[in-house]
Structure 1
Amino acid sequence: MSMMNETADPPPAPQQLLFVTGLSGAGKSTALAVLEDLGWETIDNFPVRLLKRLVAMPDEARGPLAIGFDSRTRGFVPADIIALVKDLAARDDVTLTFVFLDCSGTELERRFNETRRRHPLAAGRPVMEGIAAERELLEPLRRWAEIMVDTTAMTSNDLQSHIRELFAPASSESAMTLTLSSFGFARGMPPLADLVFDMRFIDNPHWVPALRELTGQDAPVGEHIERDPAFAEAFARIRDLLLMLLPRYQVQGKPYVHIAFGCTGGRHRSVYTAERMAQGLRAAGFSPTVRHRNLGSRAAYEIERDRR
């Protein structure tokens, strides 16, 4: 009599937990916003006494969790937080990382004066005294932190890029949503496009009777456009520009990029160029979505009648 082998379910992956703290004004809110964009669940100023209960709560998704706290957090006592960190670090079901955001007192004073915000520990005193008091309060946590980020010389964009470098998943390069679209200038420009290329310098297939009823998705229209001496060089230059810009958009953490190609009616030249460019970008490793705003607009024929 044969016995069926029963395979036990593998244990769940450890809960990925990130503590983010630091001096007020050093960039905690910015760091948490970037982490949220990267797919982390983020909670700011969660009561310290409830942290252990929060981590113990069952969570089927068990996604990465980032918790921010500072001197304004209810129940904020550095010694209690360190004790909690020690307890969590000893558990097999939790992977804990501790980040501390630091900044020079002079720069923090400038930031508070510039934004006209009150420092949480100033209590009617000069800003610098509040900064000094908070620095002394947080020093035990600063010593415990595994990752120290000094934001003194960083802009907000610099900090965002650094947080992405530290915590973005390996596949984050594909997180940017890239859209290529075609449109007709006769019906107005797309309001939210990041880059717009005007393809009206190309010979217009609309004025060829055999091509008028076709679109840029039909081979005869593409062949007509390719025969224009200006097309090949212009297309290559636009493609090279995009291949230079798109990786830089990724590094800056831009989540959405919309590139629009326009012609008069939005049915021939812009459509063909968007489709061809999508092929070129896919060959370079990108995954664009292609949309044609005016492809189904019959009224564009009438508009093109008097335009070239």
Structure 2
Amino acid sequence: MDFLLITGMSGAGKSLALNHFEDRGYFCVDNLPPALISKFAEICLQSNLDKIALVSDIRGREFFNDLFAELGKLKELELDYNILFLEASDDILIRRYKESRRRHPLDEEGRVLDAIQQERKILEELRGRASKVIDTGELKIAELQEELDNLYITQDNKSCLQLSLISFGFKYGIPRDADLVFDVRFLANPYYVESLKEKTGKDKVVQDYILKWPVTEKFYDKFFDLIKFLIPQYKNEGKSHLSIAVGCTGGKHRSVTTVLKLSEVLADESLNYNIEHRDIDK
């Protein structure tokens, strides 16, 4: 089991790190009181979970004193674990708190610097036990994600971008969650062919009609090349989900065919995707 404890300074990016691990397939828990860590680990050992990431930090207040005892119990369970400690300089943490307008967990009198220095002292021993310490002060989000991938994520999980392929009709509106939207209303429309009007893009006869036109072949070559180019770029930026929407007038013929043909290309590239024909039955 991959059991990762994320801790460190408040404002250093622990939530960002946890979200990234969740996108990479980890079962994640935020702000788990230290006193519950060993009990949580026992439950995980009895389950089918193999990748766990949890954040436990100074937000646990008085419970935080139980952390070292709980780490000892993990050893008794013969559970291998790693501690990831995130930190940043006082100046950067102060700036982040000013920008977020959030209150430091130890700040009771409005003195952020005093709270940061107090927290740093409390966490000193835990920092010394950490498997890895990352200073996030000068890291952009994508750089932090890349560092986490290099340290903890296998090559297979690095490339786990989930794609959603959506066909739709413009007359019913563009899908609100679409990242990329393509308009194929310029392709020949089977709706105006009496024998094809009541069929859909799932039917081979409709696909054959759309595909027989030279403009369709030319467009598909360019369209598929563009998608294959874009996917690695989104992966490199750390995106975990990409929604590609293809629209025609009613969402029954041209958009459905295009999405299905795109899915065949993605299958050949061994990419993960799901398909939704939003308006096919309208």
Shift in CA distance, 95/260, structure 1 to aligned 2, threshold 3 Å: same
Alignment RMSD, CA only? 2.9
Among 103, 123, 127, which residue is 1:118 paired with?
103
User: Which residue identity is paired with 1:51?
Assistant: I
Distance (Å, rounded) in 2 between the aligned partners of 1:58 and 1:142 = 25
Shift of 1:105: 1.3
Q: Which residue of structure 1 aligns with residue 63 of structure 2?
A: 75
Alignment of 1:1-308 (within 5 A): 15-56=1-42, 59-61=45-47, 63=49, 64-73=51-60, 74-77=62-65, 81-82=67-68, 84-85=70-71, 88-89=74-75, 91=76, 93-124=78-109, 126-168=111-153, 170-172=155-157, 175-297=160-282
Which region of structure 1 is more displaced relative to structure 2, 201-210 or 155-164? 155-164
Tell whether the 8 Å contact from 1:34 to 1:164 is kept in structure 2 after alignment.
no
DSSP 3-state at the match of 1:72: helix
Q: Which residue of structure 2 aligns with residue 12 of structure 1?
A: none
Distance (Å, rounded) in 2 between the aligned partners of 1:61 and 1:244 = 39
User: Which residue identity is paired with 1:31?
Assistant: A
Shift in CA distance, 225/166, structure 1 to aligned 2, threshold 3 Å: same
Shift in CA distance, 83/228, structure 1 to aligned 2, threshold 3 Å: same
Tell whether the 8 Å contact from 2:26 to 2:52 is kept in structure 1 after alignment.
yes
Shift of 1:114: 1.3
Distance (Å, rounded) in 2 between the aligned partners of 1:209 and 1:72 = 67
Shift in CA distance, 75/245, structure 1 to aligned 2, threshold 3 Å: same
Distance (Å, rounded) in 1 between the aligned partners of 2:32 and 2:276 = 43
Shift in CA distance, 263/132, structure 1 to aligned 2, threshold 3 Å: same
Which region of structure 1 is more displaced relative to structure 2, 221-230 or 265-274? 221-230
Normalising by structure 2, we get a TM-score of 0.84
Offset from partner CA, 1:91-123 (integer Å, 9 cap, x none): 473011011001111110100111222323343
User: Which residue identity is paired with 1:245?
Assistant: L
Shift in CA distance, 140/256, structure 1 to aligned 2, threshold 3 Å: same
Distance (Å, rounded) in 1 between the aligned partners of 2:89 and 2:127 = 14
Distance (Å, rounded) in 1 between the aligned partners of 2:279 and 2:31 = 48
Normalising by structure 1, we get a TM-score of 0.77
Distance (Å, rounded) in 1 between the aligned partners of 2:280 and 2:69 = 63
Shift of 1:194: 1.9
Q: Which residue of structure 2 aligns with residue 306 of structure 1?
A: none
Tell whether the 8 Å contact from 1:35 to 1:66 is kept in structure 2 after alignment.
yes
Shift of 1:23: 0.8
Distance (Å, rounded) in 1 between the aligned partners of 2:4 and 2:175 = 40
Offset from partner CA, 1:144-199 (integer Å, 9 cap, x none): 21111111022445434543454345543574432222222233322322211111
Offset from partner CA, 1:75-102 (integer Å, 9 cap, x none): 334xx6456545634x473011011001
Shift in CA distance, 229/148, structure 1 to aligned 2, threshold 3 Å: same
Offset from partner CA, 1:50-93 (integer Å, 9 cap, x none): 4344434585215243332223323334xx6456545634x473
Tell whether the 8 Å contact from 1:16 to 1:94 is kept in structure 2 after alignment.
no
User: Which residue identity is paired with 2:46?
Assistant: E
Shift in CA distance, 174/206, structure 1 to aligned 2, threshold 3 Å: same
Shift in CA distance, 189/140, structure 1 to aligned 2, threshold 3 Å: same
Distance (Å, rounded) in 2 between the aligned partners of 1:57 and 1:226 = 54
Shift of 1:283: 0.9
DSSP 3-state at the match of 1:189: coil
Structure of higher CA gyration radius: 1
Tell whether the 8 Å contact from 2:87 to 2:134 is kept in structure 1 after alignment.
yes
Which region of structure 1 is more displaced relative to structure 2, 135-144 or 19-28? 135-144
DSSP 3-state at the match of 1:190: coil
